[in-house]
Chains A and B, each alone.
Chain A
Amino acid sequence: MLKRILAVILVLMLVAGVLAGCGGGQQATEEPAKEEQQVAEKKDGKYGGIFRKAIGANPPHLDPVHATDTTSAMIIYQIFETLVGLDSEGNLVPLLAESWESEDGKTFTFHLRKGVRFHKTIEGGTPTANGGREVTADDWVWTFNYICDPETKSPRAYFLDMIKGYKDYREGKVDHLPGVRKIDDYTLEIELEYPYTPFISVLAYNAFNVLPKEDVEKWGDEFNFHPVGTGPFKFEEWVQDEKVVLSRNENYWMKDEEGNQLPYLDGIEFRVIVDHTVRWTEFNMGNFDGMQEVDDPYYHEAKEKYGDSFQERPMMGTYYYGMNVELEPWKGNKKLRQAMNYAIDREAMIDLVKNGRATPAKGVLPPGMFAYNPDLKGYSYDPEKAKELLKEAGYPDGINITLQYNTSDGHKRIAEALQQQYKAVGINMDIKNVDWGAHLDSVERSEVPLFRMGWVVDYPDPDNFLYVLLHSDNRGPQGNYTRFSNPKFDELTAKARVETDQEIRKKLYQEAEQIVVEEAPWVFIYHYTTHVLNQPYVKGYKLPSFGEYSAKYTKVWLDK
């Protein structure tokens, strides 16, 4: 009997193998045909060409309503569009709204751009359900209702919780979101519960794109695999863990300075290559026009070899070690926390371990952020002072602590360097790695005294850092992982939320940040930089300060 079963299993395995082999064969025969097609396409000035980009991970989502990560966002930015956008310097610019105004910071009126159309066809010419119709205020009203609908389960809906009636709508007390209204076909009004100045910035977040009702309803959950938007590129194909292919949207609304139709590219192919080394090698062979993440070991070579087409710039994000102020030994021991900050040589670590690809952090807010304070009184490398503070903190003979971080070669490299510096002042730091899910989980449950963490901006306003990460209302999973609580700080950041005068807000935030630095719930380590590597013939690419992932390929062209 057993033998019989074994035989059956073996036969099944053989059949599966043969079938898989056939599948592979078919794919192989398809590939050359496509390449021929690409070669046949003629280039005309700036027009033409497929941009081949190597990326580090398969995007988890292409449905913007469900995406929370940067890999997904990178592709979503090409297919979908928001009301307002960000230019490469991080300034708010009109996108699908041509202009907007607000008297009181509470009610916003958006004047929508005319002539914006949803994609007419996707996936090799298949007509979409919307038929390529124009976007009107009705679509925006429907979209905001859809995103905030609890049934939709959007993990980013809470970013919009200041919209009037959000809570009632979530709880099912009303059947629509009363705060979002259509005035006429090209005018949209959004009313908030309270004045909230960063609101416009929130709208630029990559989850809040206009969606075609017909296609979303047609596909349901499958919309993730057949995304339809208004962006410069249309969805063509997604082979899981291999590639995402986009093609040019011929009906795109934007024109360049000379009145030529955008985008220039015929399409974009995002190819998933997880291993840093393989990605770097393939890029060098000319198999890609652009690549994500040049790892530290290849950094110098890349810089030398590619010069200006290796672009780098600061990015709004902060890398820190959090000290849970409710757990020993940090509890009520400000001096010990300050000693942690004085003991490390940020400049040398960044220079030697990170190839200089970061800015030392003096405080919470990254450079380039509104209210960033260049005169902030931060910590410098002062091992003597660290030793002294350690003594005053009650640890004259040194202290043993354990850092928990999520498994990654980069984090490990940094931790091992800082470990040595801490040891020099008498702080013995053991390091322990756990996977990202378990790490975040235990940090959110406030179980870890010392942990690595980083924060990259969602919307370019200090509110996204100071309020979210350090206000006592947000202790725990909402973002305040160190459980920092300071009444004065709470008051300042809460006040800045509803204040509309930018000068006053700036002062409030700077004062609040100085309190955090003094109280030191974090070891402030560095502010991120972002970078991209393109081939020298790639033109029109501007590396956004918001991060490489947020680049749009609308004006990119290939000069070859």
Chain B
Amino acid sequence: METRPDLQKETTVTKTKNKKREGRSLWMDGWIRLKKNKLAMFGLYLVIIIVLAALFAPFITKYDPYTQLIWTEGRAAQLSPPSAKHWFGTDVYGRDIFTRVIYGARISLQIGIASVLISVLIGVPLGAIAGYYGGLVDDVISWLINVIFAFPFLLFVLAIVAYLPPSLIIMYVAIGVVNWASIARVVRGQVLSVKEKEYVEAANALGSSDFRVIFKHILPNVLAPVIVQATLRVGNVIMLEAALSFLGFGVQPPEPSWGYMINQGRQFLLAGKWWWSVFPGIAIMMLVLGFNLLGDGLRDALDPRLKQ
């Protein structure tokens, strides 16, 4: 080492640089790395655009997503192709598809975010408890996680939704209840490694309660992978909701669910009326792509080791 003065120089240079700079949190670091990732930013913009469209839907379109224009305007309003009046065309009832796609974003986002929140609320504590205590508690929880993983995901949700009356709330809960296992598994793994760290030992030595150790010292340090996992799950859940609605078990008409719109339009696809299915299909693709790119970018940004 001593024979390599150039190397010595370089380390001192970085050291001095660090001294000049103000302390940067992990989150700030992550944000800077994320901003450099063009794909991830593209994902973020996609999500932001769709969220804004969903929030301000009534200001973007002058139509109502439920109004069936055929009763007043007759056959002219039925399945009319995309035009200046109806940007994405109309469906068999004369409803404006552009409007329904925008309002449909509300449903997809709601279900995506709400059910992932539910699975985070279940998965994080269970994963943390399993990882921290180990032993029998860990065995039981891990066993539960494996059971959930062993179930065919779609079938399990289908069974719940088919048995209970269809409603948005039940969809959130049904998907959330099935979805927590992957988050719990990530948290458990993280906690297993974090709990061996010196600062945890220190907290323990100071006599902190288990609750305090887990929530104050361990959880903040496993948050990054949870956020990554949750973002990626949102995309999955949106796909799942679309699949359920396509099969007729999801959101019930007349709610403008994208999956349901694709299913209805499918019957008219070969008759040349492509717009009814294609536009909601593109919308699903965009939103899921957005969340997945963002999730991947977050993983790279928050856990740089993983990339190397």
> Which A residues are within 8 Å of any B CB, using their own CB?
276-277, 280-281, 295-298, 301, 345, 348, 352-353, 407, 409, 412-413, 415-417, 419-421, 423, 430-433
Contact = CB atoms under 8 A, between A and B. Distances in A.
B254 A420 contact: yes
B267 A416 contact: no
A416 B93 contact: yes
Contact of A297 (B70, B75, B165, B267): B267
Counting contact residues on chain B (CB < 8 A from A), the size range is 20 to 34
A276 B269 CA distance: 12
B205 interface: no
Interface in B253-308: 253-254, 264, 267-271, 273
Contacts of B271: 297-298, 301
B121 interface: no
A13 to B, nearest CB: 20
5 contacts: A276-B267, A277-B269, A277-B270, A412-B264, A432-B165
A345 B270 contact: no
B268 A420 contact: no
B186 interface: no
A297 B254 CA distance: 20
Given A297-B268, A420-B254, 20 more contacts: A276-B267, A277-B269, A348-B70, A352-B74, A353-B92, A407-B248, A409-B264, A409-B267, A413-B92, A415-B253, A416-B93, A416-B253, A417-B93, A420-B71, A420-B93, A421-B71, A430-B252, A431-B253, A432-B165, A433-B248
Contacts of B80: none
B66 interface: yes
Interface of B: 66-68, 70-71, 74-75, 78, 92-93, 165-166, 248, 252-254, 264, 267-271, 273
Contacts of A298: 270-271
A348 B71 contact: yes
Which secondary structure dominates where chain B touches chain A? loop
A404 to B, nearest CB: 11
Nearest to A416: B253
Contacts of B270: 277, 280-281, 297-298
Given A345-B71, A417-B68, A420-B71, A295 B248 contact: no
Nearest to A277: B270
Across the A-B interface, give the 4 residue pairs with the lowest CB-CB distance, nearest first. Answer: A297-B271, A297-B268, A420-B68, A277-B270
A301 B272 CA distance: 11
Nearest to A421: B71
Contacts, number: 57
A162 B88 CA distance: 61
A81 B185 CA distance: 67
B182 to A, nearest CB: 26
Contact of B70 (A277, A295, A352, A415): A352
B253 A412 contact: yes
Nearest to A419: B254
Contacts of A417: 68, 93
Contacts of B71: 345, 348, 352, 420-421
Nearest to B93: A417
Contacts of B267: 276-277, 295-297, 409
B184 to A, nearest CB: 28
A415 B264 CA distance: 13
Nearest to B162: A434
B191 to A, nearest CB: 32
Contacts of A409: 264, 267
Nearest to A420: B68
A35 B145 CA distance: 58
A301 B248 CA distance: 28
Contact of B78 (A345, A352, A415, A432): A352
A374 B71 CA distance: 27
A352 B92 CA distance: 8
A433 B93 CA distance: 20
A452 to B, nearest CB: 14
Nearest to A408: B248
A304 to B, nearest CB: 12
Contacts of B67: 420
Nearest to B273: A297
A426 to B, nearest CB: 15
Contact of B254 (A295, A301, A352, A416): A416
A271 B17 CA distance: 79
Contacts of B248: 407, 412, 433
Nearest to A295: B267
Contacts of B70: 348, 352
A432 B68 contact: no
Contact of B75 (A276, A277, A301, A352): A352
Contacts of A419: 253-254
B69 to A, nearest CB: 10
Nearest to A281: B270
Contacts of A430: 252
A431 B252 CA distance: 7
Contacts of B264: 409, 412-413
B240 to A, nearest CB: 19
A357 to B, nearest CB: 14
Nearest to A435: B162
A432 B92 contact: no
Contacts of A423: 66
Contacts of B273: 297
Contacts of B254: 416, 419-420
A276 B267 CA distance: 9
Nearest to A278: B270
Contacts of A432: 165-166, 252
A416 B91 CA distance: 12
Contacts of A348: 70-71
A295 B273 CA distance: 14
A276 B74 CA distance: 26
A46 B282 CA distance: 54
Contacts of B252: 430-432
B22 to A, nearest CB: 58
A420 B69 CA distance: 10
A412 B266 CA distance: 14
Nearest to B68: A420
Nearest to A353: B92
Nearest to A429: B254
Nearest to B166: A432
Nearest to B79: A297
Nearest to A424: B71
A123 B30 CA distance: 75
Contacts of B92: 353, 413
Nearest to A438: B162
A413 B267 CA distance: 11
Contacts of A353: 92-93
A432 to B, nearest CB: 6
Contacts of A301: 271
A421 B93 CA distance: 12
Most A C-beta atoms less than 10 A away, residue of B67, B75, B166, B267: B267
Nearest to B66: A420
A343 to B, nearest CB: 12
Nearest to A433: B248
A407 B248 CA distance: 8
A420 B93 CA distance: 10
Most A C-beta atoms less than 10 A away, residue of B66, B68, B74, B75: B68
Contacts of A413: 92, 264
Most B C-beta atoms less than 10 A away, residue of A281, A415, A420: A420
